[in-house]
Amino acid sequence: FEDKACASLRCTSCDFDVISFDGVGWEDGASARECTEGSEGGGVDYMFFRNNYPSEDKLRSMMLRKAGARAYCCQCSWKTLVERCKLTL
């Protein structure tokens, strides 16, 4: 993930910018997999992002350090990537 495909992503569902954080993943109660999306229980959920986006300080409260990972979010969706894959939020 040394280079980004696009530095200006926008969610087509909520129409907010997609922001990313290097070296971390979202806390979801399970370890990050190839292309993980949010899951029920134990970690981040829809209301967490509705209430805390775009404040990096507030969002960091639910991030876990993970070498080689990148955490993405907007106001309605989130994803942790540890490998290159098609990103759809």
First to last CA, the chain: 18
pLDDT tens for the chain, 89 residues long, are 455 557 789 999 999 999 999 999 999 844 444 444 444 446 899 999 999 999 999 999 999 999 999 999 999 999 998 887 776 65
pTM of the model: 0.77
For residue 32, what pLDDT is reported?
40
* Closest to 79 (Cα-Cα) out of 49, 51, 57, 55: 49
